[in-house]
Structure 1
């Protein structure tokens, strides 16, 4: 399949570092004090933004500010004049990545009045095994099968459990599958994306919007690793009867920011560049199955104290992205059984939705990194299936199982797109809080699952203003339409795991219809009735071991 790269028809003022040079040349990250201007004009701020981004900012009342202003060209020129080659510029971090082999020039740069600080960066050390976040991701190669061998009677195939766990099937059944939403995937490479049938519909319908490799400066879709392919499949995969992802109808940008065979601080800078780009092209959601704690060069290591939401470059960039209206979804990490068992950056961001891991029953899985953040925020925020998650097999036209919060993250990111599409006036933080509030242990969060496993139908109700009065009590939240000529639906909130009986009774006390259901704790269930009955007043009665609730409905 041919892959067409969408041309970006506006100025985007940065160049990309191709590789770390050998010899005596070193790389430095130069942080600047200001943007060399005292006035933020809309015209200047909009120079690097697409029409879509500008319209979104105006529609959601997101102000243009100094983060939208480019790095000062005058400052960049001053750096170039001091034996430095400028490789990248970040407007959000207000920083410039330079190369130089002249120590005296670097010392002189440190004294410039517009230089806030300067940090020497290590060179990438190529390894033969994955580093960092990926080293604990496990793929069960024995589970891989061709899709034609995995047909099931269920439309969702092998993906059913991981979506149903968060009540995603019911949300899809309401017609919410990510239409008009745009997701950017930040990862390590996307091997065979153009060749797998899981992705055919995305390409055929023009919902693949483009790619950028921030590690090697290329607009080609990166084939550096398979991990991004697997992550993407969880969201956009679409072979009904075999496999359906969490957001099969969304639009996608695919960005490589991670060098999987090395771990160095510059990767956080690549991530920041990708986030700026994502903002500039109007992305709604970032899915990042990445995290950073320690590096190949120990002098670059973070500490747990740095996981405070305000310190690491990648977390600063993530929170800025959130301030621009982007929902940032980031995996918590796979270090739960390691000496560093905490979340990594940028999952520590206070505006980042960090995703932990559970097994196929919703129980915490021990490899999932733990919270809280150093400053005490609940982390992870929420969790989804990370053990035995079904993903694409990039080596054949099939699927298999994988373990890692890399795979729970896109479950939530995709469902968040489906949720948000129905509530376009809501902010990213509104969506984030609704997802949190819908979780099964919202009232008693912990360091393992955070607020717990979300219920996206309940989150949808929360954003719709259908308010559950008390999350500890059962409730008939809505009964509609009422009056009705025939069919009606009950929105029923179940506070606990329980068996319920739903009865339709006429005014004489005669049982007209009955349904029996098993409901999950903290779930909102839509119960539909078709009623070819005589006109009149009827009673809907829902009983369980915990409650007995009734409401009147009129058939006319």
Structure 2
């Protein structure tokens, strides 16, 4: 039987016929597996792949029942595959182990040879585009901004950078010695010039890498100098960055924006590098796929609908980074409210736990060029705002000036994230993002223009985090003990930690949560409220800086008393007719149940013949997977029928099917 050729990806197949035979262009070569030694390599010491710092960071955020801090994504590509591909292509660009792929520059003839390799899963375009408009709103001026008066006592002389620090309330933390010490920040940019500048020369740079030239020697560019100085610069009387006490790793992830088209594989590879170093925060003043970033014809690119957190390569890489404990802070972009009803974001600003930063003026008003949300899957973006107009930065060999763009509000906010981490060791990127949003200036009325408002470093560092997993349903007729983990850097107000509860959403009583010894676990009891009752409850706690409710919105935690006889609720948008060019389709569903979910599977038929069912995978609250029929297994006019079957975790499980 003749071997099936590896399929072309959606973007490549759509433009393949228009590509000249002798044209060289970048592609992703995806592999089916990581070779025969995967199980053995997973048993290796994590130090084979990661630094001690990276291991420690992962251990703080990964589930306690995780078998190891490494997963199959951390294993290197199978070297035999890499060797074979390298021998066939014009140029190897990057090996990106998290994606089990390598990027390479190829011709169409070379692609056909690659498709014949039995371990190649798919070949897709590396998206590239002309980047000028992402930067066109950014400007530099030597004009000194209006002198701000200190809002309170300051132990440092911030010079003309006082306003941008005061606006974020970092001065109060700096006065307490919270300056980013112990935090490793990686700055992703287009190059870094004048690192001997007085505001930068004493900054501890622990690593540097140029992913365009694959060298530890960084190419110069003023943009990287500007962004680096906003977060890490220090020259009293001239410029003080928001996290001037941190250490830094500098990564050049794209070329000068006035030159050649930009590809996204540099960014994806840089994230893996940053993870291996043990980086805590990434500040990335770049966006891939923004509305104002025209692609390089005839090459296709991302659209605003692709800003859904799972489509772009950089967003997928950023999502994994946040899961591994890295706070990723990214500029929203400079494309304003380009088209009514559409976002103007670029990846990875659409990432699930990425902190996306828009720009305001020195007086706190949104700057018109600041990109807007929401993401195409309905999440509000940006997250927070910071000064991105007339932001004071290091320029030239020893000068200073005002710069404008979300590129500069981003590193200011990344510094705030570093301060929050320093003040609260061990919190996760999701918790950092929550604190930044819930303590920002418009937290009660977030929107697509300002997000949750201007970040407030001091309030975010003193946030109250509450972690709770609801108990399962119960048939017991006794009081129910309820536990919650409460973290606060400063003491809680006396008896302010309480649980409020009642039947079926009617809150009728409360009880004080009692701290368990010196731990951060608090406990109270909900009395028996009767058989067949759906018990609903929430927590509230307060310190001198914040009052926090959990859950954050107006919903409740809940459990049912008595036998659970109700199946899961399935929410799903049915698939319509599909194009073979974009096959296989992705099936996604939101599935909920008070008793928890045991399994969610897809049962399906092809032309009336039943196929092997498969389980959907839970990620970020959504169960999803692609249909388990490859492109070569279907033909035009085939009929595919499917249904989703969900089973809950009740003592006697209940099952729901949709449709």
If the TM-score is normalised by the length of the shorter chain, which range does it land in? Answer: 0.7 to 0.9
Q: Among 186, 189, 194, which residue is 1:187 paired with? A: 189
Higher mean displacement: 304-313 or 88-97? 88-97
* Structure 1 residues 486-514: Cα deviation after superposition (integer angstroms, max 9, x where no partner): xxxx946699xxxxxxxxxxxxxxxxxxx
Matches of 1:492 and 1:121, distance apart in 2:
47
Matches within 5 A, 1:397-476: 397-463=398-464, 464-465=487-488
Matches of 1:298 and 1:362, distance apart in 2:
41
8 A Cα contact 2:343 2:376, kept in partner: no
Post-superposition shift, 1:424?
1.2
Matches of 1:136 and 1:104, distance apart in 2:
41
* Structure 1 residues 523-548: Cα deviation after superposition (integer angstroms, max 9, x where no partner): xxxxxxxxxxxxxxxxxxxxxxxxxx
8 A Cα contact 1:439 1:455, kept in partner: yes
Partner in structure 2 of residue 323 of structure 1: 323
Post-superposition shift, 1:99?
3.3
Partner in structure 1 of residue 234 of structure 2: 238
What is the root-mean-square deviation of aligned Cα atoms in Å? 2.8
Q: Among 154, 169, 172, which residue is 1:170 paired with? A: 172
8 A Cα contact 2:391 2:403, kept in partner: yes
8 A Cα contact 2:145 2:390, kept in partner: no
Post-superposition shift, 1:68?
0.7
Q: Among 348, 365, 378, which residue is 1:376 paired with? A: 378
Whether 2:70 is the aligned partner of 1:70: answer: no
Rate the CA distance shift 1:362–1:122 in 2: closer, same or farther, 3 A.
Answer: closer
Post-superposition shift, 1:59?
4.0
Matches of 2:320 and 2:109, distance apart in 1:
34
Post-superposition shift, 1:433?
1.0
* Structure 1 residues 86-113: Cα deviation after superposition (integer angstroms, max 9, x where no partner): 3321001211122344x44421322434
Matches of 1:133 and 1:248, distance apart in 2:
27
Q: Among 153, 159, 162, which residue is 1:160 paired with? A: 162
Q: Among 226, 234, 237, which residue is 2:222 paired with? A: 226
Post-superposition shift, 1:36?
2.7
Q: Secondary structure at the match of 2:186?
A: strand
Partner in structure 1 of residue 646 of structure 2: none
| Count of equivalent residues | 436
* Structure 1 residues 382-404: Cα deviation after superposition (integer angstroms, max 9, x where no partner): 1111111111112x412111110
Partner in structure 1 of residue 119 of structure 2: 114
Matches of 2:87 and 2:391, distance apart in 1:
53
Matches of 1:311 and 1:263, distance apart in 2:
24
Q: Secondary structure at the match of 1:299?
A: coil
Q: Secondary structure at the match of 1:255?
A: strand
Partner in structure 2 of residue 290 of structure 1: 286
8 A Cα contact 1:187 1:227, kept in partner: yes
Partner in structure 1 of residue 214 of structure 2: 217
Q: Among 351, 360, 364, which residue is 1:358 paired with? A: 360
8 A Cα contact 1:332 1:405, kept in partner: yes
Post-superposition shift, 1:242?
2.5
Higher mean displacement: 246-255 or 297-306? 297-306
Post-superposition shift, 1:296?
2.4
* Structure 1 residues 459-481: Cα deviation after superposition (integer angstroms, max 9, x where no partner): 121155256979xxxxxxxxxxx
Matches of 1:366 and 1:405, distance apart in 2:
11
Greater relative contact order structure (CA < 8 Å, 6+ sep): 1
* Structure 1 residues 181-222: Cα deviation after superposition (integer angstroms, max 9, x where no partner): 00000001111112x1111331xxxx1112111111211132
Partner in structure 2 of residue 393 of structure 1: 395
Query: What 5-or-longer segments of structure 2 have no aligned partner?
Result: 1-20, 64-68, 147-153, 465-486, 498-542, 549-659
Matches of 1:391 and 1:81, distance apart in 2:
46
Q: What's the TM-score, normalizing by structure 1?
A: 0.73
Query: What 5-or-longer segments of structure 1 have no aligned partner?
Result: 1-21, 146-151, 471-489, 496-556
* Structure 1 residues 233-276: Cα deviation after superposition (integer angstroms, max 9, x where no partner): 1111112232211011100111100112246452x100011111
Q: Secondary structure at the match of 1:158?
A: helix
Q: Secondary structure at the match of 2:105?
A: strand
Higher mean displacement: 256-265 or 403-412? 256-265
Post-superposition shift, 1:421?
0.8
Post-superposition shift, 1:355?
0.4
Post-superposition shift, 1:166?
1.5
8 A Cα contact 1:25 1:99, kept in partner: yes
Q: What's the TM-score, normalizing by structure 2?
A: 0.62
Partner in structure 2 of residue 303 of structure 1: 303
8 A Cα contact 2:29 2:123, kept in partner: yes
